[in-house]
Structure 1
């Protein structure tokens, strides 16, 4: 089985399987375990992540994923860019104020290509989700803020 922890997903994983889901049953290690989704019906009630393309303001391209949600809100989509060096950038940080300094030198380079646009791949008949990221987002006293 190709189970992984969501934070262990790499570019090759997303290139091979465009959609992953959280099984949430006794067959998995914990709630962070994801599994490739091969049939839409296999996870009717499960949370899924879908491969997405990200494009920086300078035209640079990146691969990553979104937690699929048709609301378009960053706090539900939780965008993540995966980088070639194995590092990643999580653009939603919940109630924790993020810092670019917490990321690898390679990941920090994304700061200069903001804003970053994204669009999910149209897989298994899921509508595409698209948007724009201005920085690292977090919840600050009941409002969404970001650090660019």
Structure 2
């Protein structure tokens, strides 16, 4: 199948998908097509360096856990200069599943956090956090790099106040 016709839900992306196409764009112009919605992505056909203001994207990134373990995943480059942790939507790929660090307004239960640490092959938050992260794609605004202190929860919508849990 030509990569021009590949469509996936963002939550179905795999490490192999990012190996084949380091940039994916949200197919917002195709939302009305059958089987597609706001979570549909396609391989990006544009030029690099990528300008994040040209649309909504997912880019390949690498993550360094607190214990020195390197992992692959993706993040959403900042739009209009907003590089706050909540906008980056950081996700790590594991054979056992994907690990997303953004929970929106839902606070995870301790059992859920323990399952996530197990998926990462870790026993505790001290082995995982803080996580260093950096985009692997050339961006017009420079690479996205930062430190993730824990799982992120939107505590207050009006002020976009973020709470960190481990």
TM-score range, shorter chain: 0.7 to 0.9
**1:38/1:123 Cα in 2 relative to 1: closer, same or farther (>3 Å)?**
farther
Q: Is the 8 A contact 2:22 2:137 kept in 1?
A: no
Determine whether 1:146 maps to 2:126. Answer: no
Closer, same or farther: CA 100–49 of 1 in aligned 2, 3 Å: farther
Say which is worse superposed, 14-23 or 33-42, in terms of deviation: 33-42
Comparing 37-46 and 92-101, the one that deviates more: 37-46
The answer to whether 1:56 aligns with 2:65 is yes
Once the two structures are superposed, what CA deviation does each residue of 1:88-130 show, in whole Å capped at 9, x if it has no partner? 1111112111346334531472732211100001336552000
Q: Which residue of 1 is the match for residue 42 of structure 2?
A: 35
Counterpart of 1:106 (choices 119, 122, 127) is: 119
TM-score (norm 2): 0.77
Please provide the CA RMSD for this pair. Answer: 2.5
Q: Give the counterpart of 2:13 among 1, 9, 15.
A: 9
Q: Note the alpha carbon deviations across 1:6-61, whole angstroms, 9 max, x for none.
A: 00011111111111000112356111110011213999642011110000111111
**How many angstroms apart in 2 are the aligned matches of 1:44 and 1:36?**
17
| Structure 2, gaps ≥5 residues long | none
Identify the residue that residue 76 of structure 1 maps to in structure 2: 87
Maintained 8 Å contact 2:23/2:137: no
TM-score, structure 1 as length reference: 0.85
Report the secondary structure of 2:19's partner residue: helix
Partners of 1:21 and 1:48 within 8 A in 2:
yes
Q: Structure 2 CA distance, aligned partners of 1:84 and 1:126?
A: 32
In structure 2, distance between residues paired with 1:35 and 1:132: 28
- How many matched pairs? 147
- Tell whether the 8 Å contact from 2:132 to 2:147 is kept in structure 1 after alignment: yes
Unaligned runs of 5+ in 1: none
Q: Greater Rg, structure 1 or structure 2?
A: 2
